[in-house]
Amino acid sequence: MVAYKSNEMMSSTDVAKNFGAVLSKLANHEVDKICVLRNNKPEAVVLSALEYEQLRDYRHWNTMSEKEYLQKSHESIDSSRNYSIEEVDAYLERIIDSYES
Model confidence pLDDT, tens digit, residues 69-79: 677 777 766 66
Phi then psi dihedrals of residue 45, to 5 deg = -130, 135
pTM assigned to the model: 0.57
Model confidence pLDDT, tens digit, residues 10-35: 999 999 999 999 999 999 999 989 99
90 versus 70: the higher-pLDDT residue is 90
Model confidence pLDDT, tens digit, residues 29-54: 999 899 999 999 999 999 988 888 88
Contact by Cβ (8 Å): 72, 83: no
Cβ contacts of 33 within 8 Å, gap of 6 or more = 4, 8, 26, 45, 46, 47, 51
* Helix ranges restricted to H, the chain: 12-17, 19-27, 49-62, 66-75, 85-100
CA distance 78 to 89: 14
Domain ranges of the chain: 6-47, 50-100
pLDDT > 90 in the chain, percent: 41
